[in-house]
Amino acid sequence: MREPSSRPELIDTHAHLQDEKFHEDLPEVLQRAAAAGVSRIVTIATTALDSAVCIALARQHTLLSATVGLQPNNLAQEPPTAWDEVLRLVESPGVVGIGETGLDRHWDFTSFAQQEDYFARHLELARRYHLPLVIHCREADADVVRMLREDYERHGPVRGVMHSFAGDAATAAACLAMGLYISFAGMVTYKNAQDLRDVAKTVPLDRLLVETDSPYLAPVPVRGRRNEPAFVAHTLACLASVTGQLPEVLGAQTSSNARRFFGLPG
Ligand SMILES: [Zn+2]
């Protein structure tokens, strides 16, 4: 039996606790996270409205920090005032990042031109406020790398993370070369994800982050259930075995990375 003190420290760098799936039991969800060793959860905004909700949640719950931003798939449905609302909220207490933003060719809810326009706006906002950028990339790796490289060549490295990374080794290498962090979610634990585990091995340990993307895509062995921050322990355990580290060691490393990335205390 392991002593409780040897339980790895965990930071869930990407969850959507404002999602309606948590409306009824968020306090219990947060208790289970704390009991699993989670010392902080960043609840990630996807619309102007839920940016405000993320900030309110961070005010109510000491375990939570928030971001503000507009997820690319939601842009077409946002009111015209949405971007002004993000600008109004960016300096609120509890805000530790910008996003999630990025590009998505899997869904076509939003025109690609509009996605590119808002990805550029989020990049500029992150630089202006010296806040880290949370990047969503789905089936748009070449486009995301292209836009990040244009920005990098003009302005130098930006503090950013490729969240729920699902790309190939070349995409990871291109992002790492620009100074970005790579974050893995539950997908890396899936039986058919050996390619992704091989990519995870190539990420320097000081650029690695771990997340749940709750309530989506719960890791093995809780796959199929509503995902929640406590389950980040399973993804960490998988990454520890992939990288040949003890979970306690990798937990301390990824938590230290998350604190540095988001500018968290402690
Ligand atoms: Zn997300």
Task: Summarize pLDDT for 200-238 with one digit per residue, the tens.
Answer: 999 999 999 999 999 999 999 999 999 999 999 999 999
Report the pLDDT value the prediction gives residue 266, as an integer from 0 to 100.
72
**Domains of the chain, CATH where assigned:** 4-262 (3.20.20.140)
Measured between alpha carbons, how far is 248 from 81 in angstroms, rounded to an integer?
45
pLDDT in tens, 136-194: 999 999 999 999 999 999 999 999 999 999 999 999 999 999 999 999 999 999 999 99
| Sign of the alpha-carbon torsion through 28, 5, 265, 252 | negative
Percent of the chain with pLDDT over 70: 98
Distance 2 CA to ligand 1 centre (A): 33
β-strand partners of 133: 98, 160
- At 4 the pLDDT is 46
pLDDT in tens, 41-52: 999 999 999 999
State yes or no: pLDDT of 1 exceeds 60: no
Report how far Cα 49 is from the mean position of its chain's Cα atoms: 19
Q: From start to end of 60-129, where are the E strands?
A: 64-68, 95-104
Q: How far apart are CA 33 and CA 27, in angstroms?
A: 10
Q: DSSP string spanning 13-45?
A: EEE-TTSGGGTTTHHHHHHHHHHTTEEEEEEPP
The whole-number pLDDT of residue 265 equals 78
Question: Model's pTM, two decimal places?
Answer: 0.96
Q: Rg for the chain (alpha carbons), in Å?
A: 17
**Ligand 1 centroid vs 239 CA: distance in angstroms?**
19
DSSP 176: H
For residue 35, report the distance from its CA to the centre of ligand 1, in Å.
23
Distance, CA 4 to ligand 1 centroid (Å)? Answer: 30
Q: How many whole angstroms from 1 Cα to the centroid of ligand 1?
A: 35
- Spacing, Cα 20 to ligand 1 middle (Å): 14
